[in-house]
Amino acid sequence: MLGLMMDAPLLIPSILEYAAKYHPNTEIVSRNEDHSLHRYTYAEALVRTRKLANALNRLGLKAGDRVATLAWNNYRHLEMYYAVPGAGMVCHTVNPRLFKEQIEYIINDAQDQYIFTDPCFAPLVEAMIMNLPSVKGVVVMGSREQMPGNILHRALCYEDLLVAESPVFEWPQFDERTASGLCYTSGTTGHPKGVLYSHRSTVLHAMAINQPGLFGFGPDETVMPVVPMFHVNAWCVPYAAPLVGARLVLPGPRLDGPGLLEVIRGEGVTVSAGVPTIWMNLLNHCAQTNQSVAPMRRVVIGGAAVPQVLIDGFAAHQALAVQGWGMTETSPLGAVSVLDTRHDDLPAEDRMALQLKAGRSPFGIEMRITDAEGKALPWDGKTRGELEVRGPWVASAYYNLDDRDQFTKDGWFRTGDISTIDADGFMNIVDRVKDVIKTGGEWISSIELENLALQHPSVREAAVIARADTKWSERPRFILALHPGKTITGAELRKVVEPFVARWWIPEDFIVVDEIPHTATGKILKTALRELYGVENHPDAQKM
């Protein structure tokens, strides 16, 4: 017997329609490439988005066609987020930080029909366009004055497209499982892999992250996604904020400490989301200029392990730093480290230990850890295994790729993370399968060592890699980037590490570098570090 309830599909444009109807005057503030601010309301955004949907149809795009974007966090990109999937096409957000060859591969793999680009990325598109046979045209997301010349002289102007269109558009109704968005992994090993989201998965994910205790946006808040809109749909923030009528601030391309603080203070941002590197730069700027992050009162941090210095740093500004974990394949929310009343009486040290874990899965995500044979392991906080997840916003396959090894026969996604899960469900990532260090057959967690190194005031960023070792096969090695003008000795580094780990975990040496390389999504590129510094006896290594 089925229930007698209406079967209304969960479709993305319904979010913006809701925001425009019930929060019509709430602002969307967007910082342009020239650092000027653009302001309009949800009601005005809906009108322009409907006009854009009409323009997409006039360009000859059909249901299922992929439309690429190369753009920062701005209001035109937001309009693409709704108009493209709303009209039945697939919004393919392309990461402009990738290598040119990777971007060409991604666009060709997706068979994108059009590219919509910010003016600042026009030179990049010019350099690639002859190698993109599926692309029928380019639209520059700016005004007539911002149009480029050279080989893109025949590109279309975004604002010209919208002016010619009607503000009336009837959103088509279709199966909520229809593809809505496409995002590729950063491709640290091999080619990037495409993750194809659906309307259903996106709307459910937006509803999930708005739960109290997760991102928990409210209509009285000003939300700023610092995580780029080309990276996993900006963690779904551009969908979750309108869903509750929150004021939305899009910071554009300037994401340095001074640039972010200017927007936070100027626009009254109360909650934000981004990767650790961004927030470390912000806190360093605040310390150097003796300023506060107020009125920001909480920040969601993901993309890499969150060190204690970051949590403590925001706490000093009366702001709560919340660690989240996820992947492109999980839309991305997979876990959030939020404490509850059971933890109120814990000593501060134990509370911090929980905050430093990746967290518990929200309703909608199941997780387990397994051994090499796929057997589920106990949740005792000590046993380590590969983390696997499943749920309605988790990928079931890759786009255009048969990669069955990434998925189990019983329907779980293999994350590649080595993790523990405690009795309360708090998951802790101790390493990546490909980054784990094995000494004499025993595992060493590079993440734990990195977090300890960051406790030293001279250390700006830390990575731990496996170096070759004649006796043990592998040993850990610190790669450190220091704050300007600072130094560190082996004895000082050992002092911050030694009290917290087994003696055989402690590296014998370390290397100081000017900068640690990162992937296009801000994660430490350990493949490059291993190539540069993985030999047993490196000339730049200093003894600990």
Please give the positions annotated as active site.
Answer: 185, 329, 438, 443
Q: Map tokens 């604002």 to a residue.
A: 159
Distance (Å, rounded) from C-alpha 87 to C-alpha 58?
A: 11
E-assigned strand segments in 422-525: 427-432, 437-439, 442-444, 459-469, 473-482, 509-513
Cis peptide before 119 (omega within 30 of 0): no
Distance (Å, rounded) from C-alpha 272 to C-alpha 251?
A: 11
- The helix (H) or strand (E) run that includes residue 362 is none
Q: Which tokens belong to 60?
A: 């000859």
Return the DSSP state at 305: P
Count of all residues that appear for the chain in the document:
544
What is residue 66's three-state secondary structure?
Answer: strand
Instruction: Report how far apart, in Å, the C-alpha atoms of 534 and of each of 431, 470, 476 are.
Output: 18, 13, 9
Cis peptide before 295 (omega within 30 of 0): yes
Distance (Å, rounded) from C-alpha 272 to C-alpha 260?
A: 11
What is residue 532's three-state secondary structure?
Answer: helix
Q: Which tokens belong to 141?
A: 């997301």
Q: Is-contact 328 183, C-beta < 8 A?
A: yes
Q: Which residues lie across from 239 on neighbouring strands?
A: none
What is residue 89's three-state secondary structure?
Answer: coil
E-assigned strand segments in 6-89: 27-31, 37-41, 66-70
Amino acid identity of residue 242, one-letter, is P
- The helix (H) or strand (E) run that includes residue 153 is none
Amino acid identity of residue 68, one-letter, is A
Q: Which tokens belong to 359?
A: 């967290």
Q: Map tokens 């479709």 to a residue.
A: 11
* 413-421 and 427-432 strand pairing: antiparallel
- Sign of the four-CA dihedral 407, 409, 410, 416: negative
Q: What is the 3-state secondary structure (H, E, C) of 157-225?
A: EHHHHHHCCCCCCCCCCCCCCCEEEEEECCCCCCCCCEEEEEHHHHHHHHHHHCCCCCCCCCCCCEEEE
Q: Which tokens belong to 504?
A: 């055989």
